[in-house]
Amino acid sequence: EAQVTQNPRYLITVTGKKLTVTCSQNMNHEYMSWYRQDPGLGLRQIYYSMNVEVTDKGDVPEGYKVSRKEKRNFPLILESPSPNQTSLYFCASSRRTERDTQYFGPGTRLTVL
Amino acid sequence: EDQVTQSPEALRLQEGESSSLNCSYTVSGLRGLFWYRQDPGKGPEFLFTLYSAGEEKEKERLKATLTKKESFLHITAPKPEDSATYLCAVQALYGQNFVFGPGTRLSVLP
């Protein structure tokens, strides 16, 4: 089954404790992206990657890091999480030639205390 | 700066009562405008892409249209299973990122 998976689905952590949210897709997609979703603000793009070893900042990259060492994986790293990073996070992927048809993962709900 | 607004914020319809959702956008050259559906607790699901003013796309009870400043998602004779949040997004002609609107939360009552 074609899908985007994220882990963990739910995470409660404390300020300053480094964490990684994993994202994996099995569709051989070149384009991958991370979003955060907050009430009233909609989805905001954090980082995206056009292919392996190619990443770029979205609209809200501060406080986040990403890497793309393999085509299928695109982890999101919060080196020193803060309470304002409490949010619902989505990973998405698509073919580079069909960037509009993004397939989204199920989401990761992160709470930073 | 690229921006997307959506109205209304929330909409309640009776089953069979047709209506439209609005997406207004400001972008420095439009590559594409996208509609997604999002159910509670799930990731957005792709519905349509529109590329140029005058373009229309249909899927079951949904029809999306595009002008130079806004897009409409028309819902004809909706059913309770159409209840969801509908998201609009744009991508600029020379950009790689997507800008989403806040969404319209649609409730269709039986």
Which pLDDT score is estimated for A99?
A: 61
Q: Which of B43, B49, B101 sits opposite A90 (nearest CB)?
A: B43
Q: Which of A42, A45, A107 sits opposite B97 (nearest CB)?
A: A45
Confidence of residue B7 (pLDDT cuts 50, 70, 90): very high
Residue appearing with tokens 């744009």: B90
Q: How close does chain B come to A109, measured CA to CA in Å?
A: 10
Residues in chain B within 8 Å Cβ distance of A35: 100
Per-residue pLDDT of chain A (113 residues; tens, 9 = 90+): 889 999 999 999 999 999 999 999 999 999 999 999 998 788 999 999 999 999 999 989 999 999 999 999 999 999 999 999 999 999 999 987 666 688 999 999 999 99
Kindly state the tokens that stand for A18.
């480094």
What strands, in cross-sheet order, belong to the sheet with B56-59? B3-7, B19-26, B70-75, B62-66, B56-59
Confirm or reject contact between B101 and chain A (CB < 8 A): yes
- Distance, in Å, from the CA atom of B83 to the CA atom of B38, rounded to the nearest integer, reads 9
Q: Which of B43, B97, B103 sits opposite A105 (nearest CB)?
A: B43
Cβ neighbours for A3, distance < 8 A, ≥ 6 positions apart? A25, A26, A27, A103, A105
CA A91, A94, A98 angle in degrees (round to 5)?
A: 145
Q: What percent of chain B has pLDDT over 70?
A: 100
- A83 backbone φψ class: left, alpha, beta (φ>0; ψ -120 to 50): alpha
Residue appearing with tokens 């009562």: B17
Which residue type occupies B62? L
Q: How close does chain A come to B43, measured CA to CA in Å?
A: 5
Interval B33-69: pLDDT, tens: 999 999 998 999 999 999 999 999 999 999 999 999 9
- Distance, in Å, from the CA atom of B60 to the CA atom of B2, rounded to the nearest integer, reads 30
List C-alpha distances in Å: B10 to A31, B7, B85: 32, 8, 9
